Amino acid sequence: MQKLVADIMLAKLARWLRIVGVEVENTPYSNDDRIINYVRRRHALLLTQDRALSLRSKRRKFKVLLVQGSTLDEQLAFTAHKLGVRLDVIPEAVCPICNSKLSKANRSFVIDKIPESAKQRRKFYFCANCKKVYWKGTHFAQIKNRLAKARQLQKKLGQ
């Protein structure tokens, strides 16, 4: 798949794209020229809501997606629609923080890394890079709800 880079304003969208298994990098820059150079070096597609930056990128023949939507749900639906992404939860996919692949983790391995409320859970996932543990629980249910909402919006865009 096309490499993606999200500008700083869309860091939250990038995190949600990672949740559904899409690898997205965040630009470390806020300056337009630096962003453009960064995207060019990576032969990536830039995700931005900045109209001026989008126009500049196009003029310089870079691939850019001007993301529409004022809420996260709308942005997610729009981006998924444009990129042909399915908005389903893929827990084994990637860490929403750093993009590393998550692996399944044994209960004994995570037990001292999780809050009391999560200890009844059965399935755990671990990011070897940020040492963060994920599990199926309320957090996961919230993710599912948000994706379900975004999927509804995505359907409308497809009509």
Interface contacts to Zn ion, rule CB under 5 A? 95, 97-98, 100, 127, 129-130
Nearer to Zn ion, 132 or 151 (CB): 132
**Smallest distance, Zn ion to C-beta of residue 23, A:** 12
**Smallest distance, Zn ion to C-beta of residue 125, A:** 10
| Of the candidates 98, 97, 90, 64, the residue with the CA atom closest to the CA atom of residue 79 | 64
Q: Kind and range of the H or E element at 146?
A: helix 138-158
**Smallest distance, Zn ion to C-beta of residue 99, A:** 7
For the sheet containing 4-6, what is the strand order?
Answer: 24-26, 4-6, 45-48, 64-66
Nearer to Zn ion, 37 or 100 (CB): 100
Query: Which residue type does 17 have?
Result: L
**Smallest distance, Zn ion to C-beta of residue 131, A:** 8
Nearer to Zn ion, 94 or 150 (CB): 94
* 61 touches 135 (CB < 8 A): no
Nearer to Zn ion, 132 or 149 (CB): 132
Sign for the pseudo-dihedral over CA of 102, 103, 106, 109: negative
Alpha helix ranges (H) inside 1-137: 11-19, 32-41, 51-59, 72-83, 107-110
Nearer to Zn ion, 17 or 65 (CB): 17
**Smallest distance, Zn ion to C-beta of residue 155, A:** 31
